[in-house]
Amino acid sequence: MKMDHHCPWINNCVGHKNHCSFTFFLLFAVLGCAQASTWYIYYGTGREPIVYMSLWGMVMCMFVLGLAIGVVLAVGMLLYFQLRAILRNRTAIEDWILEKAVHRRGMLDQPFIYPYNLGCWNNFKQVINLSCEPIGDGITWVVRRECHQYTLTIEQLEQKAEKRARCREYQVVQSFSGWWFPCTKGLGVCCHPPCTDEPRISLQPGDIVAVTRWKKYSGHCPAKPNEETLCRYWLYGERTNGSNKTERHRGWFPRCCAVQILSTESDSDNPPTDPNRPAQDLPVESKKKSRS
């Protein structure tokens, strides 16, 4: 419920029931490490007992001091992002949905109203309290008067419908092993991997893949050095054929391994292109889920 992200350090997901506890955990981790690394500098009198260290003791002391400073910087940034999310009353997943909602409507349509933004103070009180007990049941939420409980869900369903409508079918012409850095597919593919932990999908010639996303890279076209072009190295899709129809095979694969299938109905709108050139523009998507 109200999932924000999965944290490997606590081996749990951060959401409705533990968001407050997780935020206090980050706060006290930063305060504790800051105190441990700066107390002697600001509060030392010079008359403290002298501790004689060996070489290895000094090395370990410097190592631990470096870890403390690193925690202050790294966990401090994570604490900042968590506090910002609390004040906006938006999880990381809802940030992605809202970004797409604003982009989908454009500047001429009626803007999308985020239903859970009740003001900074009310948003803060909904998560942070001294008992760390969550407010509400995690399913029914207080929303703005212009919205209702399913405003974000309806928006997400419309986004998914648009994604399916823009889906393109590709036929695999080169096999792909599913490696994260396929050296045999070219230097550009290895140097521009998708920045995500989503899997790669192994493919064989003849496979059909329904593509919904692509990894874009801004570069310069050699034929037109003064114009910026989009060079696509990776595609994301779901394999629609195979021996096991019930199992879903989704992931990233190199663009050079497949060519777009152009149907007769879409030939007038999408004229044939060179298989070695990028295909028609596809939306950049992310996995998104509603609040509950």
Residues forming the active site:
7
Query: What is the end-to-end Cα distance of the chain in Å, rounded?
Result: 5
**Any idea which residue has 């706060």 for tokens?**
27
Beta bridge partners of 44: none
Handedness of CA 202, 207, 213, 219 (dihedral sign): positive
Q: Which two tokens stand for residue 90?
A: 């938006």
Continuous segment of H or E residues that includes residue 273: none
Q: Which amino acid is at 137?
A: D
11 Rama class: left (phi>0) / alpha (psi -120 to 50) / beta: left
* Pairwise CA distance, residues 50 & 263, whole Å: 81
Provide CB contacts within 8 A for 224, sequence distance 6+. none
Q: What are phi and psi of 162, to 5 degrees?
A: -65, -35
Give me the helices (H) in 166-254, please: 187-191
